[in-house]
Structure 1
Amino acid sequence: MRCPFCSNDNDKVIDSRVSKDGKSTRRKRMCNVCGNRFSTVETVVVLSPLIVKKDGRRESFDRQKILNGIIKACEKRPVPYYGIEEMVQSVERWIDEINLKEIKSEDIGKFVLNKLKSLDAISYIRFASVYLSFKDINELYENVSELIRKQS
């Protein structure tokens, strides 16, 4: 590993710790040349499936896009960040479990909607209004009415 202070690649690992989810390792290192200490985080890189968009385009899975969409939907709502992070992790686990080379973006959207529905109804409606592209106010009203019926 290259030292961020002197750019030398002669260092030693002082301590290693595996994260709680077991997907990354944090290593404390010390440069053998300048003596400065620094930390690195190592994660396993798994080939992600391609996401098939509604218009047929294909792009790599991007965790950040899902995270940003959920954060936007939960903005100014009493949803803790760890709940959002857990939701994104559950999407990633689901994608790993189904083990496909291509996944439709609408399937990921449905999965997220399902999770949001049990987390926060307003966030669910916000996400649905973008994801489901309601044609008019009546379609939105029907969706909200159905949500109210299920909660009663």
Structure 2
Amino acid sequence: MKCPFCGKDETQVVETRVAEDGDFIRRRRQCMACERRFTTYERPDITLPAVVKKDGRRIDFDGRKLEASMKLALRKRPVSTEQIDSAVRRIEEKLLSLGVREIPSTRIGELVMRELKKLDKVAYVRFASVYRSFEDVDEFKTLVDEVRR
């Protein structure tokens, strides 16, 4: 494992823990050259479905993009990183359980909105306003009224 600080290849595992849910292993490592510590996560390598974009292009699913879009919607909101990670994991598990090779990006957007609605209503409205490309204020008002109920 390469050190993210100095780039040297020699690191040593100092501590290993299995996550509470058992889905991944957390390892604390120390660089033998600069002696700085960092954390790595070990997860099973799984194949998620390809994403079919609105214009018909097919791209590989990228969990980092999913996480980044959720973090953007949740910016300055009282939601922990652990809650975001759990939501991303639930979305990925749902995609795996569908057992399909391809999935429309709109379906992923709906899954994200469902998770955001559970986590934070403001983030849900933020994401939905961009995702649904509202044409006028009335559509936005309808969404806000829906959330209030």
Give TM-score scaled by structure 2 length.
0.77
Find the counterpart in structure 2 of residue 116 from structure 1. 116
Deviation at 1:102, TM superposition (A): 0.6
Partner AA of 1:103 in structure 2: I
Distance 1:144 1:23, change over 3 A: same
Deviation at 1:117, TM superposition (A): 1.4
Distance 1:128 1:45, change over 3 A: same
Find the counterpart in structure 2 of residue 137 from structure 1. 137
When the two chains are superposed, the root-mean-square deviation of aligned CA atoms in Å is: 3.1
Residue 95 of structure 2 aligns to a residue whose secondary structure is helix
Residue 145 of structure 1 aligns to a residue whose secondary structure is helix
Q: Is the 8 A contact 2:48 2:92 kept in 1?
A: no
The structure whose Rg is larger is 1
Find the counterpart in structure 1 of residue 32 from structure 2. none
Distance 1:14 1:57, change over 3 A: same
Deviation at 1:118, TM superposition (A): 2.3
Residue 75 of structure 1 aligns to a residue whose secondary structure is coil
Find the counterpart in structure 1 of residue 91 from structure 2. 91
Deviation at 1:92, TM superposition (A): 1.0
Find the counterpart in structure 2 of residue 56 from structure 1. 56
Deviation at 1:100, TM superposition (A): 0.9
Distance 1:74 1:123 in 2: 5
Partner AA of 1:125 in structure 2: V
Distance 2:9 2:70 in 1: 39
Distance 1:135 1:24, change over 3 A: same
Residue 140 of structure 1 aligns to a residue whose secondary structure is helix
Structure 1 segment 8-87 matched on structure 2, within 5 A? 17-26=17-26, 41-87=41-87
Distance 2:81 2:28 in 1: 27
Deviation at 1:22, TM superposition (A): 2.5
Deviation at 1:25, TM superposition (A): 3.4
Partner AA of 2:147 in structure 1: L
Distance 1:15 1:91, change over 3 A: same
Deviates further, 78-87 or 88-97: 78-87
Runs of 4+ in 1 over 6 A off after TM superposition: 1-6, 12-15
List gaps (5 residues or longer) in structure 2.
Answer: 30-34
List gaps (5 residues or longer) in structure 1.
Answer: 30-35
Aligned identity (percent) is 39
Partner AA of 2:92 in structure 1: E
Deviation at 1:73, TM superposition (A): 0.5
